[in-house]
Chain A
Amino acid sequence: MITLTINGKEQQLDVDPEMPLLWALRDHLNLTGTKFGCGAAQCGAFTVHIDGEAARSCSTMVGDAEGREIVTIEGLSGKVAEAVQAAWQKLDVVQCGYCQSGQIMSAITLLSANEKPTDEDINASMEGNICRCGTYVRIRDAIHEAAKALA
Protein backbone atom coordinates (compact mmCIF):
# COMPACT_ATOMS: atom_id res chain seq x y z
CA MET A 1 0.00 0.00 0.00
CA ILE A 2 1.35 3.42 -1.00
CA THR A 3 0.39 6.65 0.76
CA LEU A 4 0.36 9.80 -1.33
CA THR A 5 -0.30 13.32 -0.09
CA ILE A 6 -2.36 14.98 -2.81
CA ASN A 7 -3.86 18.45 -2.46
CA GLY A 8 -3.23 18.28 1.29
CA LYS A 9 -5.04 14.99 1.72
CA GLU A 10 -3.52 11.56 2.34
CA GLN A 11 -4.57 8.90 -0.17
CA GLN A 12 -3.93 5.17 0.21
CA LEU A 13 -3.36 3.32 -3.04
CA ASP A 14 -2.78 -0.35 -3.65
CA VAL A 15 -0.76 0.02 -6.85
CA ASP A 16 2.57 -0.91 -8.42
CA PRO A 17 5.22 1.56 -7.15
CA GLU A 18 6.49 1.89 -10.73
CA MET A 19 3.08 3.02 -12.01
CA PRO A 20 3.08 6.61 -13.33
CA LEU A 21 1.61 9.14 -10.90
CA LEU A 22 -0.66 10.34 -13.73
CA TRP A 23 -2.39 6.94 -13.81
CA ALA A 24 -2.98 7.17 -10.06
CA LEU A 25 -4.40 10.69 -10.33
CA ARG A 26 -6.70 10.10 -13.27
CA ASP A 27 -7.71 6.43 -13.00
CA HIS A 28 -7.62 5.80 -9.25
CA LEU A 29 -8.46 9.20 -7.74
CA ASN A 30 -10.57 10.71 -10.53
CA LEU A 31 -8.46 13.88 -10.62
CA THR A 32 -8.80 14.35 -14.36
CA GLY A 33 -7.70 17.99 -14.56
CA THR A 34 -4.17 16.74 -15.20
CA LYS A 35 -4.04 15.57 -18.81
CA PHE A 36 -2.38 12.75 -20.69
CA GLY A 37 -0.48 14.08 -23.68
CA CYS A 38 2.50 12.11 -24.96
CA GLY A 39 3.17 9.99 -21.87
CA ALA A 40 6.91 10.47 -22.34
CA ALA A 41 7.60 13.79 -20.54
CA GLN A 42 7.77 15.59 -23.87
CA CYS A 43 4.62 17.74 -23.84
CA GLY A 44 3.94 18.98 -20.28
CA ALA A 45 0.15 18.44 -20.30
CA PHE A 46 0.62 16.19 -17.23
CA THR A 47 2.45 18.77 -15.09
CA VAL A 48 1.68 18.77 -11.37
CA HIS A 49 3.56 20.22 -8.42
CA ILE A 50 5.71 17.93 -6.31
CA ASP A 51 7.26 19.81 -3.40
CA GLY A 52 6.58 22.98 -5.39
CA GLU A 53 8.39 21.95 -8.59
CA ALA A 54 6.72 21.39 -11.95
CA ALA A 55 6.96 17.60 -12.07
CA ARG A 56 5.83 15.50 -15.04
CA SER A 57 3.32 13.08 -13.56
CA CYS A 58 3.52 10.71 -16.56
CA SER A 59 7.20 10.21 -15.81
CA THR A 60 7.04 10.20 -12.02
CA MET A 61 6.72 6.75 -10.53
CA VAL A 62 4.21 6.54 -7.69
CA GLY A 63 6.88 5.11 -5.39
CA ASP A 64 9.07 8.18 -5.97
CA ALA A 65 6.18 10.51 -5.06
CA GLU A 66 5.51 8.88 -1.69
CA GLY A 67 6.09 11.19 1.26
CA ARG A 68 6.13 14.32 -0.90
CA GLU A 69 3.58 17.13 -1.33
CA ILE A 70 1.66 16.68 -4.57
CA VAL A 71 -0.63 19.44 -5.84
CA THR A 72 -2.78 19.11 -8.95
CA ILE A 73 -4.68 21.78 -10.88
CA GLU A 74 -7.72 20.96 -8.69
CA GLY A 75 -5.83 21.77 -5.50
CA LEU A 76 -4.29 25.14 -6.38
CA SER A 77 -4.52 27.93 -3.85
CA GLY A 78 -2.62 31.02 -2.79
CA LYS A 79 -1.90 34.43 -4.26
CA VAL A 80 0.38 33.25 -7.10
CA ALA A 81 -2.21 30.73 -8.29
CA GLU A 82 -4.95 33.35 -8.10
CA ALA A 83 -2.88 35.89 -10.03
CA VAL A 84 -2.08 33.37 -12.75
CA GLN A 85 -5.70 32.25 -13.11
CA ALA A 86 -6.89 35.88 -13.26
CA ALA A 87 -4.27 36.76 -15.90
CA TRP A 88 -5.22 33.70 -17.96
CA GLN A 89 -8.86 34.80 -17.95
CA LYS A 90 -8.10 38.48 -18.55
CA LEU A 91 -5.95 37.78 -21.62
CA ASP A 92 -8.14 34.93 -22.80
CA VAL A 93 -5.10 32.70 -23.14
CA VAL A 94 -6.85 29.39 -23.77
CA GLN A 95 -7.55 28.10 -27.27
CA CYS A 96 -8.51 24.42 -27.16
CA GLY A 97 -7.37 24.25 -23.54
CA TYR A 98 -5.94 20.75 -23.46
CA CYS A 99 -2.44 21.81 -22.42
CA GLN A 100 -3.51 24.68 -20.19
CA SER A 101 -3.59 22.95 -16.82
CA GLY A 102 0.04 21.98 -17.40
CA GLN A 103 0.91 25.49 -18.61
CA ILE A 104 -0.65 27.01 -15.50
CA MET A 105 1.18 24.61 -13.16
CA SER A 106 4.53 25.51 -14.74
CA ALA A 107 3.74 29.25 -14.74
CA ILE A 108 2.97 29.11 -11.00
CA THR A 109 6.24 27.27 -10.34
CA LEU A 110 8.12 29.94 -12.26
CA LEU A 111 6.44 32.90 -10.56
CA SER A 112 6.82 31.34 -7.11
CA ALA A 113 10.61 31.29 -7.60
CA ASN A 114 11.01 34.37 -9.78
CA GLU A 115 8.75 37.37 -9.10
CA LYS A 116 9.71 39.24 -12.24
CA PRO A 117 10.72 36.81 -14.98
CA THR A 118 12.18 38.08 -18.24
CA ASP A 119 11.14 36.63 -21.59
CA GLU A 120 14.31 34.53 -21.44
CA ASP A 121 13.37 33.18 -17.99
CA ILE A 122 9.89 32.33 -19.28
CA ASN A 123 11.30 30.53 -22.31
CA ALA A 124 13.69 28.48 -20.17
CA SER A 125 11.11 27.52 -17.54
CA MET A 126 8.14 26.91 -19.86
CA GLU A 127 10.12 24.97 -22.49
CA GLY A 128 8.62 21.66 -21.39
CA ASN A 129 5.03 22.73 -22.00
CA ILE A 130 3.91 22.45 -25.60
CA CYS A 131 0.76 24.12 -26.99
CA ARG A 132 -0.45 22.78 -30.33
CA CYS A 133 -2.72 25.82 -30.75
CA GLY A 134 0.32 28.07 -30.56
CA THR A 135 -0.83 30.29 -27.68
CA TYR A 136 2.74 30.91 -26.58
CA VAL A 137 2.53 34.70 -27.05
CA ARG A 138 -0.58 34.91 -24.88
CA ILE A 139 0.96 32.59 -22.28
CA ARG A 140 4.00 34.81 -22.05
CA ASP A 141 1.87 37.96 -21.78
CA ALA A 142 -0.22 36.34 -19.05
CA ILE A 143 2.86 35.45 -17.03
CA HIS A 144 4.05 39.07 -17.24
CA GLU A 145 0.52 40.20 -16.34
CA ALA A 146 0.45 37.93 -13.28
CA ALA A 147 3.91 39.14 -12.23
CA LYS A 148 2.65 42.74 -12.44
CA ALA A 149 -0.38 41.89 -10.32
CA LEU A 150 1.83 40.23 -7.71
CA ALA A 151 4.34 43.13 -7.54
Chain B
Amino acid sequence: MRRAQVGLRKILFLFLFVSVGMVALIWTAGNNASHGQATTTAAESLAAWDKIATVVEHPRCLNCHQVDSPLQGDSARLHVPLVVRGDDNMGVTGMRCTNCHSQTGNNPTSGVPGAPGWSLAPLEQNWQGVASGDICRQMLDPARNGNMNAEQLVHHFAEDELVGWGWNPGPGREAIPMPRAELTDHVKTWLAGGGACPQ
Protein backbone atom coordinates (compact mmCIF):
# COMPACT_ATOMS: atom_id res chain seq x y z
CA MET B 1 0.00 0.00 0.00
CA ARG B 2 2.76 2.38 1.10
CA ARG B 3 4.83 1.38 -1.99
CA ALA B 4 1.83 2.14 -4.18
CA GLN B 5 1.47 5.61 -2.59
CA VAL B 6 5.16 6.37 -3.21
CA GLY B 7 4.79 5.24 -6.84
CA LEU B 8 1.76 7.49 -7.34
CA ARG B 9 3.62 10.45 -5.80
CA LYS B 10 6.50 9.84 -8.22
CA ILE B 11 4.15 9.78 -11.20
CA LEU B 12 2.45 12.99 -10.04
CA PHE B 13 5.82 14.68 -9.55
CA LEU B 14 6.98 13.60 -13.01
CA PHE B 15 3.72 14.85 -14.55
CA LEU B 16 4.12 18.23 -12.78
CA PHE B 17 7.75 18.48 -13.94
CA VAL B 18 6.87 17.74 -17.58
CA SER B 19 3.90 20.17 -17.49
CA VAL B 20 6.01 23.04 -16.13
CA GLY B 21 8.64 22.31 -18.80
CA MET B 22 6.05 22.38 -21.57
CA VAL B 23 4.53 25.65 -20.35
CA ALA B 24 8.01 27.16 -20.28
CA LEU B 25 8.70 25.94 -23.80
CA ILE B 26 5.42 27.36 -25.15
CA TRP B 27 6.08 30.67 -23.36
CA THR B 28 9.56 30.93 -24.87
CA ALA B 29 8.30 30.06 -28.34
CA GLY B 30 5.58 32.70 -28.06
CA ASN B 31 8.11 35.28 -26.93
CA ASN B 32 10.40 34.43 -29.82
CA ALA B 33 7.53 34.83 -32.29
CA SER B 34 6.50 38.26 -31.02
CA HIS B 35 9.99 39.61 -30.37
CA GLY B 36 11.81 38.04 -33.32
CA GLN B 37 14.37 40.85 -33.51
CA ALA B 38 15.75 40.01 -30.12
CA THR B 39 16.34 36.37 -30.91
CA THR B 40 17.18 36.16 -34.63
CA THR B 41 20.93 35.96 -35.02
CA ALA B 42 23.02 37.51 -37.77
CA ALA B 43 23.86 34.01 -38.97
CA GLU B 44 20.16 33.18 -39.32
CA SER B 45 19.62 36.50 -41.09
CA LEU B 46 22.43 35.74 -43.53
CA ALA B 47 21.10 32.25 -44.17
CA ALA B 48 17.67 33.76 -44.88
CA TRP B 49 19.22 36.22 -47.35
CA ASP B 50 20.85 33.34 -49.23
CA LYS B 51 17.37 31.85 -49.73
CA ILE B 52 16.00 35.23 -50.85
CA ALA B 53 18.89 35.60 -53.30
CA THR B 54 17.84 32.41 -55.12
CA VAL B 55 14.53 34.13 -55.85
CA VAL B 56 15.75 37.61 -56.83
CA GLU B 57 18.26 35.97 -59.16
CA HIS B 58 15.54 33.82 -60.79
CA PRO B 59 14.69 34.88 -64.38
CA ARG B 60 11.15 35.91 -63.31
CA CYS B 61 12.71 38.68 -61.22
CA LEU B 62 16.11 39.25 -62.80
CA ASN B 63 14.85 39.59 -66.40
CA CYS B 64 13.46 43.05 -65.69
CA HIS B 65 16.11 44.23 -63.21
CA GLN B 66 18.45 45.07 -66.08
CA VAL B 67 20.52 48.06 -67.19
CA ASP B 68 18.85 49.12 -70.41
CA SER B 69 16.85 46.27 -71.98
CA PRO B 70 14.87 43.48 -70.34
CA LEU B 71 15.60 39.80 -70.90
CA GLN B 72 13.02 37.17 -71.81
CA GLY B 73 12.21 33.59 -70.95
CA ASP B 74 13.76 31.00 -68.70
CA SER B 75 16.96 31.20 -70.77
CA ALA B 76 17.14 34.94 -69.99
CA ARG B 77 17.90 36.00 -73.55
CA LEU B 78 17.56 39.58 -74.80
CA HIS B 79 13.94 40.71 -75.21
CA VAL B 80 12.55 40.24 -78.73
CA PRO B 81 11.69 42.70 -80.13
CA LEU B 82 14.38 44.85 -78.61
CA VAL B 83 13.07 47.42 -76.16
CA VAL B 84 15.05 50.08 -74.34
CA ARG B 85 14.50 51.76 -70.98
CA GLY B 86 13.43 55.27 -72.08
CA ASP B 87 12.86 58.19 -69.72
CA ASP B 88 10.32 56.51 -67.44
CA ASN B 89 11.49 52.84 -67.48
CA MET B 90 8.59 52.04 -69.81
CA GLY B 91 10.33 52.13 -73.19
CA VAL B 92 10.32 54.73 -75.95
CA THR B 93 7.54 56.00 -78.21
CA GLY B 94 6.28 53.16 -80.36
CA MET B 95 7.94 50.54 -78.18
CA ARG B 96 6.49 51.08 -74.74
CA CYS B 97 5.94 48.15 -72.36
CA THR B 98 2.20 48.64 -72.32
CA ASN B 99 1.95 48.53 -76.12
CA CYS B 100 2.14 44.73 -75.75
CA HIS B 101 1.92 43.94 -72.02
CA SER B 102 -1.42 44.31 -70.26
CA GLN B 103 -1.53 46.01 -66.88
CA THR B 104 -4.28 43.63 -65.80
CA GLY B 105 -2.73 40.21 -66.35
CA ASN B 106 -1.37 37.62 -68.74
CA ASN B 107 -2.94 37.53 -72.18
CA PRO B 108 -4.30 34.00 -72.64
CA THR B 109 -4.43 34.27 -76.46
CA SER B 110 -1.16 35.96 -77.44
CA GLY B 111 0.74 34.44 -74.52
CA VAL B 112 2.22 37.84 -73.72
CA PRO B 113 2.65 38.18 -69.95
CA GLY B 114 1.26 41.13 -68.04
CA ALA B 115 0.62 42.46 -64.54
CA PRO B 116 -0.08 45.79 -62.83
CA GLY B 117 3.01 48.00 -62.90
CA TRP B 118 4.72 46.09 -65.74
CA SER B 119 7.95 47.96 -66.50
CA LEU B 120 11.72 47.75 -66.30
CA ALA B 121 12.93 48.20 -62.71
CA PRO B 122 14.57 51.61 -62.11
CA LEU B 123 18.25 51.72 -63.04
CA GLU B 124 19.36 51.93 -59.39
CA GLN B 125 17.67 48.55 -58.93
CA ASN B 126 19.72 46.82 -61.60
CA TRP B 127 20.74 43.31 -60.52
CA GLN B 128 22.43 42.10 -63.70
CA GLY B 129 26.08 41.31 -62.95
CA VAL B 130 25.63 42.51 -59.36
CA ALA B 131 26.91 40.24 -56.56
CA SER B 132 24.42 38.85 -54.04
CA GLY B 133 25.87 40.99 -51.23
CA ASP B 134 25.53 44.16 -53.30
CA ILE B 135 21.93 43.33 -54.23
CA CYS B 136 21.32 42.77 -50.51
CA ARG B 137 22.76 46.18 -49.54
CA GLN B 138 20.91 47.85 -52.43
CA MET B 139 17.64 46.36 -51.21
CA LEU B 140 18.16 47.80 -47.72
CA ASP B 141 19.03 51.29 -48.96
CA PRO B 142 15.93 53.52 -49.24
CA ALA B 143 17.75 55.63 -51.85
CA ARG B 144 17.98 52.56 -54.08
CA ASN B 145 14.98 50.44 -53.12
CA GLY B 146 12.10 52.76 -53.96
CA ASN B 147 12.26 54.39 -50.51
CA MET B 148 10.97 51.31 -48.70
CA ASN B 149 11.42 50.68 -44.98
CA ALA B 150 11.54 47.18 -43.48
CA GLU B 151 7.77 46.88 -43.17
CA GLN B 152 7.27 48.03 -46.75
CA LEU B 153 9.94 45.58 -47.95
CA VAL B 154 8.02 42.70 -46.35
CA HIS B 155 4.83 43.98 -47.95
CA HIS B 156 6.60 44.24 -51.32
CA PHE B 157 7.60 40.58 -51.21
CA ALA B 158 4.32 39.39 -49.72
CA GLU B 159 1.70 41.51 -51.50
CA ASP B 160 3.01 43.49 -54.49
CA GLU B 161 1.05 42.48 -57.60
CA LEU B 162 3.96 42.71 -60.03
CA VAL B 163 6.13 40.60 -57.70
CA GLY B 164 3.20 38.16 -57.44
CA TRP B 165 3.29 37.63 -61.19
CA GLY B 166 6.46 35.58 -60.57
CA TRP B 167 4.21 32.80 -59.21
CA ASN B 168 1.71 33.16 -62.08
CA PRO B 169 3.86 33.78 -65.15
CA GLY B 170 1.66 31.98 -67.67
CA PRO B 171 2.50 29.00 -69.88
CA GLY B 172 6.07 28.48 -71.03
CA ARG B 173 7.70 30.30 -68.13
CA GLU B 174 8.84 28.67 -64.91
CA ALA B 175 7.14 30.04 -61.80
CA ILE B 176 9.39 30.98 -58.90
CA PRO B 177 10.10 27.59 -57.31
CA MET B 178 9.84 28.77 -53.67
CA PRO B 179 6.30 29.35 -52.32
CA ARG B 180 5.60 33.04 -51.75
CA ALA B 181 4.73 32.53 -48.06
CA GLU B 182 8.08 30.81 -47.51
CA LEU B 183 9.92 33.66 -49.23
CA THR B 184 8.08 36.17 -47.07
CA ASP B 185 9.13 34.27 -43.94
CA HIS B 186 12.75 34.41 -45.11
CA VAL B 187 12.43 38.17 -45.66
CA LYS B 188 11.06 38.61 -42.13
CA THR B 189 13.89 36.52 -40.67
CA TRP B 190 16.47 38.40 -42.73
CA LEU B 191 15.20 41.77 -41.51
CA ALA B 192 14.64 40.60 -37.92
CA GLY B 193 18.29 39.59 -37.74
CA GLY B 194 19.42 43.03 -38.86
CA GLY B 195 19.43 42.50 -42.64
CA ALA B 196 22.73 40.65 -42.80
CA CYS B 197 24.43 40.73 -46.21
CA PRO B 198 27.26 38.63 -47.66
CA GLN B 199 30.55 40.47 -48.22
A-to-B contact residues, CB < 8 Å: 18-20, 39-42, 44, 53-56, 58-61, 63-64, 106, 109-110, 112-114, 121, 124-128, 130
Contacts and interface: CB of A to CB of B under 8 A. Distances in A.
Interface of B: 80-84, 92-96, 98-104, 107-112
Contact of B111 (A40, A109, A126, A128): A40
A135 B98 CA distance: 26
Q: Which 8 A-B pairs have the closest CB atoms?
A: A125-B94, A59-B110, A41-B100, A113-B93, A59-B112, A128-B81, A127-B81, A54-B94
A63 B102 CA distance: 10
Contacts of A18: 107-109
A41 B83 contact: no
Nearest to B96: A53
A39 B94 CA distance: 18
B92 A124 contact: yes
A125 B83 contact: no
A45 to B, nearest CB: 13
Contacts of A112: 93
Contacts, number: 80
Given A20-B109, A39-B109, A126 B102 contact: no
A56 B99 contact: yes
Contacts of B100: 41, 55-56, 59, 128
Given A40-B112, A109-B93, A125-B95, 18 more contacts: A18-B107, A40-B110, A41-B100, A53-B98, A53-B99, A54-B95, A54-B99, A55-B100, A56-B112, A59-B101, A61-B107, A63-B104, A64-B103, A124-B94, A125-B93, A125-B94, A127-B82, A128-B99
Contacts of B99: 53-56, 128
Contacts of A125: 92-95
A16 to B, nearest CB: 10
B139 to A, nearest CB: 30
Contacts of A58: 109-110
B83 A127 contact: yes
Contacts of A121: 92
A110 B81 contact: no
9 contacts: A39-B110, A40-B112, A59-B112, A64-B102, A109-B93, A125-B93, A127-B81, A127-B82, A128-B81
